[in-house]
Amino acid sequence: MGTGTRGCDHPPWAGTERGGTGRHSRPRPGGGARPSPGRGVGRVSGRVSGRSSARAQRRSTRRLTWPGSGADMADGSRQSKLAAAKKKLKEYQQKNSPGATAGAKKKRKSKEGSRPETPTNDGRQSPENVSVPPFLPRIPSASSFGFPNSTTAAGGGLNSVIVIMIYFSVLFNYCFFFPPLLLFYPFLLLLPACAHQTRYQELAVALDSSNLTNKQLITKIEELVRNDPTNQFDIVSAVHIQTIGILVSEKSELQTALGHTQQAARQKSGEAEDLAARLQSSRQRVSELERTLSSISMQQKQSEKHNKELVKERDNLKLELYKQSEEIKQQNSELSEKLRSLVSENSAMKLDVEDLHKKLEMAELMIQQFSNQSGNVDANQQLQMALEERASLETQIAQLSESLQQLQAERDQYVEKLKEEGSIWQQRVQQLSEQVRTMAEEKEKHVAQIQELESNITELLMKPMDVEPSLPAGPTAAELSLQEEIQRLQHEKEELHGQYQAQVRDNEQLSRLNQEQEERLLELEKTVQRYNEESVDRQQILESMQSDKATISRALSQNRELKEQLAELQNGFVKLTNENMEVTSALQSEQHVKKELAKKIGQLQENLGELKETLELKTQEARALQEQRDQFYGHLQQYTVAYQQLAAEKEELQKQYLLQTQLMDRLQHEEVQGKVTVEMHLKELQQTKVIKEGQVERLEAKCLIAPHPVTFLTSAMSQVEKEREEMRQQLAAQKQQCRNLLQQIAALRQEQQRNITLSEGKSWVQCEYGDVPQPGPDLCETVLWARFTDLIQEKADLKERLEELEHRCIQLSGETDTIGEYIALYQSQRAILKQRHQEKEEYISRLAQDKEEMKVKLLELQDLVMRLVKERNEWYRLREVNLADEAEQDPSQEDPTAKQIMQLLREIQNPQERSGSLLENPCIPFFYRADENDEVKIMVV
């Protein structure tokens, strides 16, 4: 009943609607409800009467279906007139054309029967029958707000207005919670304007058709007046007058509707301009967000590249440290071997010193045994010399012990220094580890913020859009309140209709955006997984770096110790090389002398061998004589009888004994002279040895002082040659003395043999006296031989020691070269590490400064956002209360808090304006949403 088109009998308040009321309240041209009396008036056909009667019936039924309206009393006269006109028309039609009336009735029945099946308004559906897409929330109908279906003008106009109003409120909420929808907000609002234009065209066509029908009716009325001047003219004129009045009223209503629609179009054009400006600002915002995203992606790529470079540097450092540690281990092993060799040499020197002490003691004992009273002075001199040598050796030992103590003290100092440096490095490592921990905590916080953002986005996407906008109050009894409410609802209906059509497109775009956001979320999850893996790798890297630093500190300590030891060894090697050069020059000059002496010593060794053989024979003879003496003791008793006989012979024997004693005195005197000469020669040799040692010391001093080594060497060679000649002369004199002594010994032996052959009974006396002088020359020869052997051994030891020192000098020179190269490499690497450490410290300080600045700005931004949220809530409430009277302007253009927020965002996005900026294009996109307690949490990505 209420879905058909509305005729002339509509309520009086329907004509005062604002902004496009005729679209829902006026009949469409070409519809079955518009009167067209001019079609059969001139011909007196049944079409006009049939249509007018059908129209009158529909109007009467529509009037009856409006409950409680105040238009029944006002239109009573009009309805009575129309009923009378209808009756007259029926009578006229029945009289004049009975066939036509039957045809009209058939047509009317067919039209009335087909009308419920066909939709009104030229096949256009009412707003109630419009299908809502499934992605929008369910929109309540007009009956849910207390409006009956029969009360709506034009069969559901109020429901369509409510639907459009709800649509606009939902779209506004969507745009508020999803800022990307603002990009398409102008298009959403431009759609109602397009609908208005189409409606304007339809109304213009309807006006043209109504004018044509009026003209046709006028012409037909004139024809009827000409044809039937009596009753028919009155009836038809009355009917046409009524239809003309209805058309005139409709025309006035359409004109008012056109005026309202033109005003609404102007307002919509202004809104379209505002929305275009918003579109530009939103596009700028989107471009800025895209820039921030690109900068973030670039930063991530740069950070990944930087991490890869750091990993490569770490691997290179590990290799270098491994190589250095191996080299240091080799050096340590070599130095330990050298130290062991030096310790063994020191122990050998100590053993040599002990042997020398023992030899000195043995020499003193031998001197005491074989020296007489006349030789005590020489023995004392020898003892003094030995004591002086002993004191010098003790001083050397004391110096060596002091040097060892100094080395130990220096080693302890270096160990303490290394410990201090190790503690300093440990502190630095701890500081770096703390910084890394803080960075990891910040990273975890950022990851948590990203997860919260993702959860918020998913909640917003999955949240049902069941926002129930505030609806206007129900209808009142007064017509003025109803008119205002209907005007407001129609205005909102127009807006919501356009927004509804735009929402479909927005929803499609939102679905695309949702897909893109899901893809971004997947990418973010992948990045989070990568960051977690990288965090584990970084922890491993930190552990390896700490172990590497510990090894580096140990290597540094060992390198320093080795450097100090090398410096000491180099100083010692310099001294040793100087001494070796001097000693080698002296040894080369003395080698020739040694060869000649070796030849002479060989001859002496041969002579000594012969003497040893003679000594063995003499010892055998002495043993035989002792046996004979034992026999003689047995025969003494026998000889006592013959003692008296031998008394006379005793005197003669005494005389011979005196002669023999004289000879023995001579031999003893000669032996003493030989001993004195030998001792003198020994003293001279010792003096020459001391002189040589002094000369060697002088030569060393001269080597240290003399600028020209050539002159020094020539003078030293001349002195050595002179000494060699003197030694040759001394050796020749000693040889002559030895020959003389041997001749004397041979003569004495011959005389002894003669005396032994004289009498066998007297041999025991001769043996007793003959054994005394024999050890004299033998002892001299043994002493000389021992001295020569000692000198030869000392020279051989010196040669061996010189060769060993030369070999060690060569080894140490090569090792010093390699150590110098390693030291240079180590210094260069250490400088590089220091530079990197300084750069890292500067980077960390800059990060801390930027972090503090960002914290301050974020706090300011949070306060501003809180203000903006409060202002937005107030503005939203005002907009809900006063949607009709609100001046539609852009609030962001005059909002100071929004300006401050934009300034802060520009400062954050443009770090070049700041002094201590670190990154080139930092940006902080943020999302905010009010909680239940109207609190806002800013989450920085």
pLDDT tens digit sequence for 555-580? 777 777 777 777 777 777 777 777 76
Q: Is the pLDDT of residue 481 over 60?
A: yes
Q: Is the pLDDT of residue 208 over 80?
A: yes
Pick left, alpha or beta for residue 19 (phi over 0 → left; psi -120 to 50 → alpha; otherwise beta).
left
* DSSP label of 41: T
Partners of 790 in beta bridges: none
DSSP 417-484: HHHHHHHHHHHHHHHHHHHHHHHHHHHHHHHHHHHHHHHHHHHHHHS--------PPPP-SSHHHHHH
The mean pLDDT value for 237-250 works out to: 79
Predicted pLDDT at 829:
80
- What value does the mean pLDDT of the chain take? 66
Whether 389 is in a domain gets the answer: no
The mean pLDDT value for 293-313 works out to: 81
What are the backbone dihedrals phi and psi of residue 835, each rounded to the nearest 5 degrees, phi first?
-60, -45
Q: Which of 530-534, 650-654, 717-721, 910-914 has the highest mean pLDDT?
A: 530-534
H/E element, 926: strand 926-927
Distance from C-alpha of 916 to C-alpha of 368, rounded to nearest angstrom = 96
Q: Is the pLDDT of residue 123 over 60?
A: no
Distance from C-alpha of 306 to C-alpha of 688, rounded to nearest angstrom = 79
Q: Is the pLDDT of residue 467 over 50?
A: no
Whether 896 is in a domain gets the answer: no
Q: Identity (one letter) of the amino acid at 784?
A: L
Distance from C-alpha of 200 to C-alpha of 766, rounded to nearest angstrom = 179
107: Cβ–Cβ under 8 A, 6 or more apart, which residues?
A: 47, 50
| Contact yes or no for 55/33 (Cβ under 8 A) | yes
Q: Tokens 């469409």 sit at which residue?
A: 28
Token pair for 164: 């459009």
Distance from C-alpha of 394 to C-alpha of 180, rounded to nearest angstrom = 100
Predicted pLDDT at 129:
39
Distance from C-alpha of 690 to C-alpha of 696, rounded to nearest angstrom = 10
What are the backbone dihedrals phi and psi of residue 222, each rounded to the nearest 5 degrees, phi first?
-65, -40
Distance from C-alpha of 189 to C-alpha of 195, rounded to nearest angstrom = 11
The mean pLDDT value for 756-783 works out to: 49
Predicted pLDDT at 320:
80
Whether 641 is in a domain gets the answer: no
Distance from C-alpha of 136 to C-alpha of 467, rounded to nearest angstrom = 11
Cβ-count burial of 564 within 10 angstroms (0-12 exposed, 13-18 middle, 19+ buried)?
Answer: middle
Q: Which of 305-319, 458-472, 483-497, 610-624 has the lowest mean pLDDT?
A: 458-472
| Contact yes or no for 85/238 (Cβ under 8 A) | yes
Predicted pLDDT at 935:
56
| Contact yes or no for 133/507 (Cβ under 8 A) | yes
370: Cβ–Cβ under 8 A, 6 or more apart, which residues?
A: 779
Distance from C-alpha of 60 to C-alpha of 62, rounded to nearest angstrom = 5
Distance from C-alpha of 170 to C-alpha of 509, rounded to nearest angstrom = 17
Predicted pLDDT at 197:
67
Cβ-count burial of 839 within 10 angstroms (0-12 exposed, 13-18 middle, 19+ buried)?
Answer: exposed
Token pair for 402: 């002091």
What are the backbone dihedrals phi and psi of residue 40, each rounded to the nearest 5 degrees, phi first?
-125, 20
Partners of 926 in beta bridges: 940
Token pair for 20: 């496009």
Distance from C-alpha of 534 to C-alpha of 416, rounded to nearest angstrom = 39
Predicted pLDDT at 61:
42
The mean pLDDT value for 543-555 works out to: 73
Q: Tokens 């990944």 sit at which residue?
A: 304
Predicted pLDDT at 653:
63
DSSP 867-880: HHHHHHHHHHHHHH
**CB atoms near residue 675 (< 10 Å):** 21
Distance from C-alpha of 4 to C-alpha of 58, rounded to nearest angstrom = 9
Partners of 939 in beta bridges: 927
pLDDT tier at 158, thresholds 50, 70, 90: very low
Distance from C-alpha of 468 to C-alpha of 165, rounded to nearest angstrom = 11
Residues constituting the chain:
941
Predicted pLDDT at 28:
43
Q: Which of 1-5, 99-103, 286-290 has the highest mean pLDDT?
A: 286-290
The mean pLDDT value for 516-537 works out to: 73
| Contact yes or no for 22/72 (Cβ under 8 A) | no
Whether 191 is in a domain gets the answer: yes
Distance from C-alpha of 869 to C-alpha of 875, rounded to nearest angstrom = 10
DSSP 248-276: HHHHHHHHHHHHHHHHHHHHHHHHHHHHH
Q: Is the pLDDT of residue 102 over 50?
A: no
Distance from C-alpha of 504 to C-alpha of 135, rounded to nearest angstrom = 8
Whether 258 is in a domain gets the answer: yes
The mean pLDDT value for 621-644 works out to: 68
Q: Is the pLDDT of residue 715 over 80?
A: no
Whether 59 is in a domain gets the answer: yes
Q: Tokens 């021992």 sit at which residue?
A: 786
Distance from C-alpha of 701 to C-alpha of 647, rounded to nearest angstrom = 78
H/E element, 551: helix 479-641
735: Cβ–Cβ under 8 A, 6 or more apart, which residues?
A: 600
Whether 40 is in a domain gets the answer: yes
Total tally of structural domains belonging to the chain: 1
Q: Which domain holds residue 31?
A: 12-121+172-290
**CB atoms near residue 562 (< 10 Å):** 19
Q: What are the distances in angstroms from CA 37 to CA 34, 79, 275?
A: 10, 18, 49
Pick left, alpha or beta for residue 465 (phi over 0 → left; psi -120 to 50 → alpha; otherwise beta).
beta
Higher pLDDT, 55 or 681: 681
31-85 confidence digits (pLDDT tens): 444 444 434 333 433 444 444 444 544 444 444 333 344 444 445 666 777 777 7
Q: What are the distances in angstroms from CA 447 to CA 307, 451, 529, 927, 939?
A: 19, 6, 10, 15, 11
Partners of 936 in beta bridges: 930
Q: Identity (one letter) of the amino acid at 670?
A: E
Q: Identity (one letter) of the amino acid at 283?
A: R
Distance from C-alpha of 811 to C-alpha of 818, rounded to nearest angstrom = 11
The mean pLDDT value for 885-911 works out to: 57
Whether 863 is in a domain gets the answer: no
| Contact yes or no for 486/17 (Cβ under 8 A) | yes
3-state secondary structure of 152: coil
pLDDT tier at 776, thresholds 50, 70, 90: very low
Predicted pLDDT at 40:
39
Partners of 734 in beta bridges: none
H/E element, 927: strand 926-927
Within a 13 Å sphere around the CA of 503, how many CA atoms are in the beta-carbon half?
A: 23
Percentage of the chain lying above the pLDDT 70 cut: 50
Token pair for 606: 């041969």
Pick left, alpha or beta for residue 121 (phi over 0 → left; psi -120 to 50 → alpha; otherwise beta).
left
Distance from C-alpha of 884 to C-alpha of 522, rounded to nearest angstrom = 45
The mean pLDDT value for 300-328 works out to: 81
H/E element, 58: helix 46-64
pLDDT tier at 482, thresholds 50, 70, 90: low
258-269 confidence digits (pLDDT tens): 888 888 888 888
Distance from C-alpha of 938 to C-alpha of 940, rounded to nearest angstrom = 6
603-631 confidence digits (pLDDT tens): 777 877 787 787 788 778 878 777 876 77
Distance from C-alpha of 234 to C-alpha of 283, rounded to nearest angstrom = 70
